[in-house]
Structure 1
Amino acid sequence: MPVSVLLCEGEDNGPDVRLLHAILRGTGVQVEPSGGKDAFAGLIRGRRRQNPGVCGLIDGDFPRDPGAWTEATDPGPRRWTLRQGEKQLVLGWMWRRKEVENYLLDPDVLARALRWDPAAKSRYVAQLERVFDALGRVTAARIALTCCAPWRNRLETQVRLDATKQELQDKADAYTEGARLDKDKLLQAFERHVPDCLSGGRFRQHALEVFAGKNILAKIQHTPGFHPILKRKPELEERILNALEHDAEPHSWLPEWAALRSAVEAWMPAPETEATSAGA
């Protein structure tokens, strides 16, 4: 049997659920919120005891190996797996982008939802580039925190948009009791990834995929010149989601959405004892 239930982050009627409802319309897949990310993997495994067709979709988040994020050339979602010894259990997928807000700020999505003409879309793209420039250092800081996080402890990577070395040092000190964090390695990782996140850098070239959507939106809201609706998040989300819900083929808006729909439709479950690194 293919996927029958797709669990996602967020709450009932939240943007994750409504977006997935739209792009998976007609597939027969039931989309349900799981709440937060904590214990998500265990929830899927528990549900599969009664229904093998349960899968999950989680935010992209910052990977421990940042370079792997930009290596893929296809638009398909990344697989979400759980290692079991030498084998891997496929739990579902990860959004290719950092989080759902990255999609809601995409120029193609906004142009369709808000009915922008080419001039309005081009103006937004130019403004967005300046926002990306301003978010280079905070993104490098958050990537560094993820790279250096202890394997057995979840590490909160939120920092101020004007993050400094001192803030990273303070964060490292705060984690040394429950989850040891090597301060020197953290600062070295930060310095190493700053050029990656500034103009011309490998991550900066994929900013709408790699940079945190929530950071992008926060910066937009404090930057003059953007369309007023971009500064009112609830109204912005409602306009986009409503447009998607009333479109005949919302999955066609972005290649990533079409690829996710295809991946969900093609998936077939495998017994946990047979799940290998080759996937399902």
Structure 2
Amino acid sequence: MSVLLCEGEDNSPDVRLLHAILRGTGVQVEPSGGKDAFAGLIRGRRRQNPGVCGITDGDFPRDPGAWTVATDPGPRQWTVRHGEKQLVLGWRWRRKEVENYLLDPDVLARALRWDPAAKSRYVAQLERVFNALGHVTAARIALTCCAPRRNRLETQVRLDATREELAQELRKKAGEYTDGARLDTDKLLEAFERHVPDCLSGGRFRQHALEVFAGKNILAKIQSTPGFAFDPLLKSRPELEERILNALEHDAEPHAWLPEWAALRSAVETWIPAAEATGTSA
């Protein structure tokens, strides 16, 4: 039997979402527990079952200069180097993380039974949230692209910080980073300034904010900022998640809610475990 491992714990949104959209495929969805050592877990499990694969968060682009808008809704392959070849571990979500999908206007409109006017109001307010997260996202992208490849770096920053305060926070992070490698302050600040325009109005990341910006940051901003006229349900993360996931679990074809979910279902169904387990080049 094919097994799809995902981030999170039992009954987490990741697990429940995947259970819903992969219903009827015969694929068993299991939580991995977290991001650390996820790739190693998949490779270890494949020694007993070559049908084990995984799906991980999209995350910020490690190489922002190479980022391009997706031309299809399918998930990206998740690969690691295996000798001279690329070993396919599974897939990466097209968007930054699962929360990005739970905040999608089409998903919310179906789950909460919004009429077109309610959906339109949500989209307008969401644009204000994206505007408020431009500098924050640029700072987090800078931390991601400047982080040493072998050592994990925490990219969280204050969501209410100004551009100047974020620059100070980046300087502090660089000065305190001693996890086996140096974090170059000048390069970090240069990356921040370089990607600020990408994350503000008209920028390439800003134009695709629901894909690139962090879903957790978007939700936190919705819940913490006065003056945003959102549906009251969005102010409670547990209630919001339960409403959406419950609606998906009771729908006959939840994978049809978004093209990305239908594409993931198709990718999982057509995956050939034997080829993936041998390290065939992607």
Give the TM bin, normalised by the shorter chain: over 0.9
Which runs of no fewer than 5 residues in structure 1 stay unpaired? none
Task: Indicate yes or no: 2:280 matched with 1:275.
Answer: yes
Q: C-alpha distance in 1, partners of 2:279/2:99? A: 36
Q: C-alpha distance in 2, partners of 1:68/1:36? A: 27
Amino acid at match of 2:264: L
Deviates more, 1:181-190 or 1:65-74: 65-74
Task: Indicate yes or no: 2:235 matched with 1:231.
Answer: yes
Aligned to 1:137: 135
Cα pair distance change 1:70/1:162, threshold 3 Å: farther
Q: C-alpha distance in 2, partners of 1:29/1:71? A: 29
Q: 1:31 is paired with a residue of what secondary structure? A: strand
Superposed CA deviations along residues 58-109 of structure 1, whole A, max 9, x for unmatched, are 0111121124443321110011101123211000001110000000000000
Aligned to 2:79: 81
Q: 2:91 is paired with a residue of what secondary structure? A: strand
> Are the aligned partners of 1:70 and 1:203 in contact in 2 as well (CA < 8 Å)?
no
Backbone CA RMSD of aligned residues: 1.2
Task: Indicate yes or no: 2:99 matched with 1:91.
Answer: no
Q: C-alpha distance in 1, partners of 2:102/2:67? A: 20
Cα pair distance change 1:44/1:177, threshold 3 Å: closer
The CA deviation at 1:222 is 1.8
Aligned residue pairs: how many? 275
Superposed CA deviations along residues 200-227 of structure 1, whole A, max 9, x for unmatched, are 0000000000000000001000233111
Cα pair distance change 1:158/1:274, threshold 3 Å: closer
Amino acid at match of 1:222: S
Task: Indicate yes or no: 2:100 matched with 1:102.
Answer: yes
Match of 2:200 among 173, 181, 198: 198
Which runs of no fewer than 5 residues in structure 2 stay unpaired? none
Match of 1:155 among 153, 156, 163: 153
Aligned to 1:188: 190
Cα pair distance change 1:206/1:18, threshold 3 Å: same
TM-score, L = length of structure 1: 0.95
The CA deviation at 1:55 is 0.3
> Are the aligned partners of 1:113 and 1:239 in contact in 2 as well (CA < 8 Å)?
yes
The CA deviation at 1:186 is 0.3
Aligned to 2:259: 255
Q: C-alpha distance in 2, partners of 1:20/1:218? A: 23
> Are the aligned partners of 2:104 and 2:210 in contact in 1 as well (CA < 8 Å)?
yes
Amino acid at match of 1:185: K
Q: C-alpha distance in 2, partners of 1:234/1:149? A: 32
TM-score, L = length of structure 2: 0.95
Q: C-alpha distance in 2, partners of 1:231/1:70? A: 33
Cα pair distance change 1:153/1:274, threshold 3 Å: closer
> Are the aligned partners of 1:11 and 1:35 in contact in 2 as well (CA < 8 Å)?
yes
Deviates more, 1:89-98 or 1:168-177: 168-177
Aligned to 1:264: 268
Q: C-alpha distance in 2, partners of 1:274/1:39? A: 19
Cα pair distance change 1:57/1:261, threshold 3 Å: same
The CA deviation at 1:175 is 0.7
Cα pair distance change 1:35/1:180, threshold 3 Å: same
Q: C-alpha distance in 2, partners of 1:131/1:273? A: 45
Amino acid at match of 1:245: E
Q: 1:70 is paired with a residue of what secondary structure? A: coil
Q: C-alpha distance in 2, partners of 1:222/1:63? A: 26
> Are the aligned partners of 2:97 and 2:214 in contact in 1 as well (CA < 8 Å)?
yes
